[in-house]
Structure 1
Amino acid sequence: MIKNNINNINTVVFILFTAMYIYQYYYIIVVLLKNKNVKSKGKNIMNKFAVIVSARNESDVIEEFIHTVDLQDYPSDLIDVYVIADNCSDDTAQKARIAGAHVYERFDNKKVGKGYALDFLFKILRSKKTKYDGYFIFDADNLLSRNYISEMNKVFNRKYKIVTSYRNSKNYDSNWISAGYSLWFLRESKYLNYARMLLNNSCAVSGTGFLISSEIIDKNNGWKYHLLTEDIEFTIDSIINGEKIGYCNSACFYDEQPTSFKDSWNQRMRWSKGFYQVFFKYGYNLFKSIFKNKDFSCYDMFMTISPMMLISIVMILFNSSIFLYSLISNDFQTSKLAIGYVLSYFLNTYLMMYLLGLLTTITEWNRIQCKGYKKIFYTFTFPIFMFTYMPISICSIFKKVEWKQIKHNINKSIEDMELIA
């Protein structure tokens, strides 16, 4: 009886997981069969943009970011750069001014985070009645390909009020941690957002490298998103309200990934906590929108923010408990069955993550800034990086999490990245 119950519970959970996420495998097929750049339609209107960066003690990298904006093949008189020097104790503001940016300094130790900094600047711009068609949001460590703004402008002209882009890495080859991040973001760009765009579904904003219409900012009276993951909060709220987020595969930017496990732990702890916050604040309305809006994007985003990692952990703990109890009870058949499920979970998850990493590495080979043998090696460490989310997911439930700065000090230029490429 116990063995039958264990089999039934594990089988049901496996079938449910497969049924809920099988659409992401369809996304892969769509990309592989329809792998072509999405062309712009209609007139190529030259819009006026503000490029906005929230920077806290980013003096090592802020100048190179502004340099990449200066190099854009888009009319320079249609681009203004704004830097929010947010609670800085270094010379970020001075360097940004010398580099040609409009700089506003903000000091507030209570309202900490990128969302508050963005709202601070948007309120200044709106009070001055400074008019832009759209706003680019970046981090200080980003580097933009020379055609970035012109390519994003093409998608923007297709009436998308929010557009995200292809996220690459400045330091893929630093170690297995930076490679783990990088490979995940490459996979997210190519096999999630690109597929969504090809299928005319809504994409998802991921922290940095996106464009927002001024209409959205005006409607929201600035930036109203202040959870620990303000990017996914912005995404979910936009989709619930019927906005479709576009994606530009030909607009590439590079960012710096953490290299120490401590920094990685702190950052992903914030992400995990933030996803829980978004789920509890928006999950019910998002679930209702699946039926109200009749938009598959709502289901896609609901699965994105659902705490499925916790269910996986619960199943591991359940089978492990059965294993220990059966050993104590000398029920070796049941203990063998339970430990088999635990091992199969880890093996199957490792294999699935490895195959996703391998596929992404193969198709994005020429866009990954790393030596060939390292690219292969990091496909094996990618699943290990993903496994480390398990303790993070558990700890973030009980731990109070606050925003912590991750120092960026890899001072590469866009010329360096193009030379490597």
Structure 2
Amino acid sequence: MFDQLFSQLTFVDAFNMGVFLAFTLCYCYQFFYVFVVLIKKPPKQEAKANHRYAVMISARNENQVIADLIHSIRVQNYPQELIDIFVIADNCTDNTAEVARGAGATDVFVRYNKELIGKGYALDYGYKLIQEQYGHNGYEAYFVFDADNVLDVNYFREMNKVFDGGAIASTSYRNSKNYGSNWISAGYAVWFLREAKYLSQARLTLNTSCAVSGTGFFISAEVLAKHGGWKWHLLTEDIEFSTQTIIDGGRIAYCPTAMLYDEQPITFKDSWNQRFRWAKGFYQVFWHYSFKLLKGIFKNPKGAKFACYDMLMTVSPAMLLTIISIGFNATIVVLASLGYMSLGSGITSSLSSLFFCMFNYCLFMFVFGVLTTFTEWDNIHSTTGKKIKYMFTFPFFMLTYIPIALVALVKKAKWKPISHTISVDVEEMSKASQKTK
């Protein structure tokens, strides 16, 4: 039976060609994004007024790094009386709360909840306390940062331009403060730089919606008030918020001149745990919102139709298509080796498909890694040798997403803390960034 089923070369070729065409048709528009970024500069904005902001930082055992973030906010080239900093010390077992208070936080909210675990719940808790105790301050938007971040000194000045221009939410340029630690941290850094440059900037230029990604963004007070707080609690609460906003016809902006530095994991265990949660979270968002996004492609206002399609492609489990292709061709090879089908052109096709699937994936990632590294060269704080070296390791970092995506299909995910220990000099980081401008 197996021999009859797989004896025709056209069956194997048709399957592999179908997978290739599916990828090409669904994602070819992202090559156009690259073209847009390379030939057209993003629009510039200027602010007519300075606005009042609240900062929300969800922190769990972050006593080694949170002072750097608060300090980087306190030295902003923006009126300090218009920025209040609120730290949610979430299920901490260290002195994060005390360190945050000593570093200059406006207030620290201590939260203990072993049932509702996750950043989304912590942000909702903090937002409600801010409304109760500081609502009279009239915050116009809320910034969200992770405790390990540090900001360029002009971050708030630049993001204020975007908010003043009418944005209901905006993400920013996500750089890394430890690109050079090893191939893992560099892999993260290149991926986020690529996301900022060749996804967010392209979307900004084309006047479609971006997506917030974990940290370094603001949401208008009106949006949070409309939803009654932070109501997005899936494992990737940022992507859930972005998806809901786009479905509702909203547009998330991007500010390429507001730079944030993020600490990346340096151990494969931490990296696996973090990306496993992300993969599971993307599956959750796809499961809950894919039909609404599909509906929005046809029923949303004209300007929001493409944003729905773009977001659907973002949350779609495209990696599974790669896994299915690999699994299909590998199955043919195994069946042939066990004698269930004859060796011939069919198995040759499967072997070549396996090779080219992996090769093309690595080549695609290598090209994107090289392109991103060279265009963002001056923004990467590392040596020339490491920049070149990690262009070659980037495809292998991305390959590790394949087993992560597969395991995430069948295994439950929980929030697991990632250790952050790297302290940096905020002024030095900012000076280095200014030299590149």
2:94 maps to 1:90: yes
Query: CA offsets, 1:168-225, max 9 Å, x none?
Result: 0010000110001000000000000000000000001000000110001100101001
Task: Provide the residue aligned with 1:292 in structure 2.
Answer: 299
Task: Provide the residue aligned with 1:387 in structure 2.
Answer: 399
Say if 1:323 and 1:334, in contact at 8 Å, map to a contact too. Answer: no
Task: Provide the residue aligned with 1:326 in structure 2.
Answer: 336
Q: Which amino acid aligns with 1:58?
A: E
Counterpart of 1:173 in 2: which secondary structure? helix
2:290 maps to 1:283: yes
Whole-angstrom CA distance in 2 between matches of 1:37 and 1:8: 42
Q: Which amino acid aligns with 2:328?
A: F
Say if 2:56 and 2:143, in contact at 8 Å, map to a contact too. Answer: yes
Q: Which amino acid aligns with 1:325?
A: L
Task: Provide the residue aligned with 1:270 in structure 2.
Answer: 277
Say if 1:143 and 1:413, in contact at 8 Å, map to a contact too. Answer: no
Moved more, 369-378 or 358-367: 369-378
Whole-angstrom CA distance in 1 between matches of 2:409 and 2:330: 21
2:174 maps to 1:167: yes
Task: Provide the residue aligned with 1:158 in structure 2.
Answer: 165
Decide which of 233, 248, 256 is 1:226's aligned counterpart: 233
Gaps of at least 5 residues in structure 1 are none
Task: Provide the residue aligned with 1:176 in structure 2.
Answer: 183
2:45 maps to 1:40: yes
Say if 2:42 and 2:205, in contact at 8 Å, map to a contact too. Answer: no
CA shift, 1:40, in A, is 1.2
Counterpart of 2:15 in 1: which secondary structure? helix
Q: Which amino acid aligns with 1:59?
A: N
Query: CA offsets, 1:133-162, max 9 Å, x none?
Result: 111100001000000001001011111110
Task: Provide the residue aligned with 1:309 in structure 2.
Answer: 319
Task: Give identity over the alignment, percent.
Answer: 51
Whole-angstrom CA distance in 1 between matches of 2:34 and 2:405: 26
Decide which of 364, 374, 378 is 1:352's aligned counterpart: 364
CA shift, 1:361, in A, is 0.4
Whole-angstrom CA distance in 2 between matches of 1:326 and 1:127: 68
Say if 1:326 and 1:332, in contact at 8 Å, map to a contact too. Answer: no
Query: CA offsets, 1:387-410, max 9 Å, x none?
Result: 101111111111111000001000
The alignment's TM-score, normalised by the length of structure 1, stands at 0.98
Moved more, 1-10 or 23-32: 1-10
Runs of 4+ in 1 over 3 A off after TM superposition: 418-421
Q: Which amino acid aligns with 2:128?
A: K
Say if 1:227 and 1:278, in contact at 8 Å, map to a contact too. Answer: yes
Whole-angstrom CA distance in 2 between matches of 1:317 and 1:276: 20
Say if 1:52 and 1:82, in contact at 8 Å, map to a contact too. Answer: yes
CA shift, 1:99, in A, is 1.3
Aligned residues: 419
Whole-angstrom CA distance in 2 between matches of 1:51 and 1:44: 22
Q: Which amino acid aligns with 2:110?
A: E
Task: Provide the residue aligned with 1:122 in structure 2.
Answer: 127
Say if 1:37 and 1:250, in contact at 8 Å, map to a contact too. Answer: no
Whole-angstrom CA distance in 2 between matches of 1:263 and 1:308: 24
Say if 1:53 and 1:139, in contact at 8 Å, map to a contact too. Answer: yes
Whole-angstrom CA distance in 1 between matches of 2:53 and 2:431: 28
Whole-angstrom CA distance in 2 between matches of 1:330 and 1:18: 32
Whole-angstrom CA distance in 2 between matches of 1:32 and 1:230: 31
CA shift, 1:324, in A, is 2.2
2:41 maps to 1:25: no
Whole-angstrom CA distance in 1 between matches of 2:68 and 2:299: 46
Whole-angstrom CA distance in 2 between matches of 1:44 and 1:113: 37
Whole-angstrom CA distance in 2 between matches of 1:409 and 1:355: 32
Map 1:122-271 to 2 at 5 A: 122-128=127-133, 129-130=135-136, 131-271=138-278
2:375 maps to 1:363: yes
Counterpart of 1:135 in 2: which secondary structure? strand
Task: Provide the residue aligned with 1:8 in structure 2.
Answer: 14
CA shift, 1:420, in A, is 5.2
Say if 1:163 and 1:210, in contact at 8 Å, map to a contact too. Answer: yes
CA shift, 1:44, in A, is 1.8
Q: Which amino acid aligns with 2:417?
A: Q
Counterpart of 1:247 in 2: which secondary structure? strand
CA shift, 1:37, in A, is 4.4
The alignment's TM-score, normalised by the length of structure 2, stands at 0.94
Say if 2:42 and 2:201, in contact at 8 Å, map to a contact too. Answer: no
RMSD over aligned Cα, in angstroms? Answer: 1.1
CA shift, 1:100, in A, is 1.5
Say if 1:326 and 1:334, in contact at 8 Å, map to a contact too. Answer: no
